[in-house]
Amino acid sequence: MADNSKREKVYHVFQEISGSYDKANERISLGLEKRWKKELVQEVSAKTAQGDSVLDVCCGTGDIAIALAKSCSAVRVVGIDFSPAMLEAAEKKSGRLANISWQIGDAMHLPFADNTFAAACISFGLRNTASYLDVLQEMRRVVRPGGWVYCLDSFVPDSPWIRPFYAVYFRGIMPVLGGGFRHRKEYVWLWQSTKAFLRKKELLDLFGKAGLVERTLKSHMFGACVLHKGRKPISG
């Protein structure tokens, strides 16, 4: 799929499912998504201090950005996404939080100056972008030297024993459980994007290619969800 074609497809998918996205994700992850996102928020919060700014890329309906703003009241949080419908949902959820802002933008061309943020994260969004490397390089660019880049995303499990069960669930059950009959095809696409995504070690290597050091990963649920992180070098 050409870059523009993928972008248009993803835009359509998230515009369509924005209203039911949160509840659907909870159903299809069997409630585990909240735990994984909480871990990401704790990781990012531990790397920030009073007066810092944090960027949530492909923020969707704002779960991560809102949780960060609540847990770090002295930190400024910016959520960016290219779907107006998802950002509208995020704004409604954030209410009167004073330390959070929302912006429409492209993850491959972030509208921020170099070295702006203490940390940047992306959750369940990288696999839906047209160029994984471009996104990671942009996140590295806008993070200050010594700052951290995080990615939480879905993967096809490593184990050949687990993969068949995973495929049956995500190909056959998940689209109906997540989208019902109305949005089934949109959730089929989310399965397809996961299947076409990198393996977890390939993404760790891509973090290195993007210029990040001290790279680590942590797997959940047999590798179906993985948190990657890497640090922007202090010099060089």
> pLDDT higher for 157 or 87?
87
Mean pLDDT, residues 149-170 taken together: 82
> pLDDT higher for 9 or 122?
122
Q: Phi and psi (nearest 5°) for 180?
A: 65, -165
Q: What is the pTM of this model?
A: 0.89
C-alpha to C-alpha distance for 236 and 222, rounded to whole angstroms: 36
Q: Judging by beta carbons within 10 Å of its beta carbon (0-12, 13-18, 19+), is residue 236 exposed, middle or buried?
A: exposed
What 3 state SS string does 85-143 have? HHHHHHHHHHCCCCCEEEEECECCECCCCCCCEEEEEEECCHHHCCCHHHHHHHHHHHE
Residue-wise pLDDT for 165-178, tens only, equals 777 766 766 655 55
Residue-wise pLDDT for 17-33, tens only, equals 555 555 656 666 666 78
pLDDT confidence of 1, banded at 50, 70, 90? Answer: very low
Check pLDDT > 70 for residue 183: no
Give Cβ neighbours of residue 95 (< 8 Å, ≥ 6 apart): none
pLDDT confidence of 13, banded at 50, 70, 90? Answer: low
Mean pLDDT, residues 3-9 taken together: 73
Taking phi over 0 as left and psi of -120 to 50 as alpha, with beta for the rest, 34 belongs to alpha
> pLDDT higher for 139 or 6?
139
Lowest mean pLDDT among 67-71, 158-162, 201-205, 212-216: 158-162
> pLDDT higher for 223 or 179?
223
What CATH code would you report for 3-156+199-231? 3.40.50.150
Residue-wise pLDDT for 209-227, tens only, equals 999 999 999 999 888 899 9
Q: Identity (one letter) of the amino acid at 152?
A: L
Share of the chain above pLDDT 70, in %: 80
| pLDDT, averaged across the chain | 86
What element of type H or E holds 199? Answer: none
Residue-wise pLDDT for 43-100, tens only, equals 999 999 999 999 999 999 999 999 999 998 999 999 999 999 999 999 999 999 999 9
C-alpha to C-alpha distance for 70 and 62, rounded to whole angstroms: 12
Please report the pLDDT score of residue 2 as a whole number. 44
